[in-house]
Amino acid sequence: MSALIIDGKQISADMRNEMISEVAELKQKGVTPGLAVILVGEDAASIVYVGSKEKACIQLGMYSEVHRMAADSSEEQVLALIEKLNNQDSINGILVQLPLPKHINEKAIIDAIRVDKDVDGFHPESVGNLVIGDDSLLPCTPAGVIELIKRSGVDIAGKHAVVIGRSNIVGKPVAMLLLRENATVTICHSRTANLEEIAKQADILVVAIGRANAIDSKFVKPGAVVVDVGINRLDTGKLAGDVDFESCQTVAGHITPVPGGVGPMTITMLMKNTITAAKKVNGM
């Protein structure tokens, strides 16, 4: 048996096409969704990510601002820029590219973003709203995981979903979103006993641990949906997921590849959040 490959690139492209039409319609009504990205310093990966976000905005016909600040910018300077963007009507979403230089308190920065412009979904109020089931902007990578599963025709309700990883940016919010979709959810982590046994009970297995190829077919129930969030750079320079794709694809029913699975969805969901925020603030 060979699993169906969940093509994140294609799903992301489909979503972006849908959004191009949606943005065009919004613009006709006088609303142009706008995203501001703040980059502090010269982290090589961050520069690439910020460039991709700017490109995606342009591709979709949205308004984009990128604020590139020197690595030695003070926390007060970053906070002052956020305050300005919080009050700027042309901006519906504010994203501060992480990680920030060490002298800046990440939490103070995230907390300063207006909740209805929190397109990364990391503000404590956004997280709280997600947990209690209120309307909120959803964290991009976790929301992308749900979108991939749904658009592959898999019904989440009633399934046993096992999430391996409990970080605030991936594991916990993925688990909350799966719960909201009426899955029965188990969360595993580095202290979980019998990980293999628990993972093997999953109808849907989401892996976000940050260890290349750590999960092989022994952890996978035949026919399960396997979503690999991991992005690991190998010594060879190649990218690898947390899931050993070759071994797991012989057992799984559906599986995401790395690259080309969850990765392409993150920025697409950021665009979706920016559109959602623009519609909301304009009462649409």
Contact residues: ligand NDP, CB under 6 A: 141, 164-167, 169-171, 188-192, 195, 208-211, 214, 229-232, 242, 262-263, 266
Q: Is 156 or 265 the residue whose CB approaches ligand NDP more closely?
A: 265
> Closest approach of Cβ 70 to ligand NDP, in Å?
26
Q: How far apart are CA 6 and CA 18, in angstroms?
A: 19
> Closest approach of Cβ 251 to ligand NDP, in Å?
19
Q: Both tokens of residue 243? A: 């899931």
Tell me whether residue 178 is exposed, middle or buried, using C-beta atoms within 10 angstroms of its C-beta: 0 to 12, 13 to 18, 19 or more. buried
Q: Both tokens of residue 246? A: 């070759």
> Which residues have CB under 8 Å from 284's CB, separation 6+?
26, 29, 31
* Catalytic residue (choose from 97, 159, 200, 244): 97
> Closest approach of Cβ 75 to ligand NDP, in Å?
23
> Closest approach of Cβ 241 to ligand NDP, in Å?
8
8-state DSSP, 240: E
Active site includes 14? no
> Which residues have CB under 8 Å from 1's CB, separation 6+?
222, 250, 251
Q: Is 57 or 270 the residue whose CB approaches ligand NDP more closely?
A: 270
Active site includes 97? yes
Residue 233 backbone dihedrals phi, psi, to 5 degrees: -90, 120
* Catalytic residue (choose from 7, 53, 116, 159): 53
Q: How far apart are CA 126 and CA 123, in angstroms?
A: 5
Burial code of 84-122, b = ≥16 C-beta within 10 A, e = fewer?
Answer: ebeeeeebbbbbbbeebbeebeeeebbbbbbbbbbbbbb
Q: Is 171 or 257 the residue whose CB approaches ligand NDP more closely?
A: 171
Residue nearest to ligand NDP according to CB distances in the complex: 167
> Closest approach of Cβ 32 to ligand NDP, in Å?
26
Q: Is 116 or 118 the residue whose CB approaches ligand NDP more closely?
A: 118
> Closest approach of Cβ 72 to ligand NDP, in Å?
26
Q: Is 26 or 220 the residue whose CB approaches ligand NDP more closely?
A: 220
* Catalytic residue (choose from 7, 116, 118, 120): 120
Q: How far apart are CA 85 and CA 64, in angstroms?
A: 12
Q: Is 189 or 280 the residue whose CB approaches ligand NDP more closely?
A: 189
Active site includes 221? no
Contact 223, 253 (CB under 8 A): yes
List residues with catalytic annotation.
Answer: 53, 97, 120
